[in-house]
Homo-oligomer: A and B are copies of this chain.
């Protein structure tokens, strides 16, 4: 029997995160202050993030030590296994070996604690007492709730009202970990009250929830804001995934031909791929692919431009692939991939042709996910189904080209609390959806006057 599973001993777990800024052939464009149009300064961000995380955000140091208290919490679920998907390979009947890094065994079921744990730690170390954040589907909110509880921080999560009502399990997770979960829009903030005055029955949006969380944090000197994707320091923390995977593949003497991840804000994709992009920069042959939904095709159809990270235009202007900050994606069932923008690092790598992007329709992704569950067991999160669809696509190409290929991908999380989406698919309620071009053009008008990167 071939080796199906590779563990890493605790003592072999990487002790540093990898910062790709140190290796970029062309440096990234800076975020801009929306008022002045000038590069943002560290002190501009001080009311929002603690200074130790701001330092990580702008650091150019290649390796950054993982603090001992963070390692201790990582050990609750890390190192995660690297697994070979032989049963799925048989189904695909293509000349491919498929390895995946399984991030679904963490307490909330996804890769999110890889950054919620260090973020809670650094905030605590900086003397912060409370974190505020927003959550859409609830994966990020639950991961941050757990981390705050472990480091003795209070946690307040603004959850998009429609998800709060439809996804009771996620908010119950947050409550179990001791966080306060508030449906957004709420009467706790000016931003929320303003919306409620106009639309008392507003279902909320991620944009509104972000505005509420930032306003909440900025208004309390003991509180800061926390974000679960997009930013450089978030992607940095996630590199633990790819660094572990490299060590595990080294153990069995294998190097992948293709590395893939699904991309919403970009954090799990960057987590698995940045250490390989580093190799690629240094001359190694490896293909790196980001999979996104065709209903929110940020990388494949959005331009690289300066744009706000939120709908309410309270963040700095970020250089990224964007569909425009007032883009409203269709209500597809992969909440974690419904974001108008993309991490500046990932966007930059796509611009530099170090990363390729592909978009997949929800029918393709659920078909891939169901086939996965029926062969490999674990029911994937709807987000994860996108990378599985991309793997199916790679296998098909390998079969057509008659070329053997070793595939590595990040299995970002399980779907046990997202089963309503599977229900919709199995009962035929999901339909193929191609985003009309005029929809994108309309949304992009919102960034027409912004500086160009």
Contact = CB atoms under 8 A, between A and B. Distances in A.
Interface string A381-420: 0000000000000000000000000000000001011011
B76 A416 contact: no
A218 interface: no
Given A146-B377, A150-B375, A378-B107, A173 B9 contact: no
Nearest to A373: B176
A77 interface: yes
A100 to B, nearest CB: 12
Copies of this chain in the oligomer = 2
B422 A379 contact: no
Contacts of A76: 83, 87, 376-378
A419 B9 CA distance: 32
A83 to B, nearest CB: 8
Contacts of A374: 149-150, 176-178
Interface residues of A, number: 51
A107 B379 contact: yes
A176 B370 contact: yes
A45 B107 CA distance: 42
Nearest to A13: B5
A242 B104 CA distance: 24
Contacts of A168: 419-420, 423
A327 B185 CA distance: 49
A169 interface: yes
Contacts of A73: 377
Nearest to A175: B426
A150 B377 contact: yes
A4 interface: yes
Residue among A4, A83, A150, A172 with most chain B CB within 10 A: A172
Nearest to A147: B377
11 contacts: A76-B83, A76-B376, A107-B373, A107-B377, A107-B414, A113-B377, A150-B375, A150-B377, A177-B373, A177-B379, A416-B416
Given A175-B423, A176-B379, 19 more contacts: A1-B71, A3-B10, A4-B10, A7-B8, A72-B86, A76-B87, A105-B105, A107-B377, A146-B373, A168-B420, A168-B423, A169-B417, A169-B419, A173-B416, A176-B370, A176-B422, A177-B379, A178-B374, A417-B417
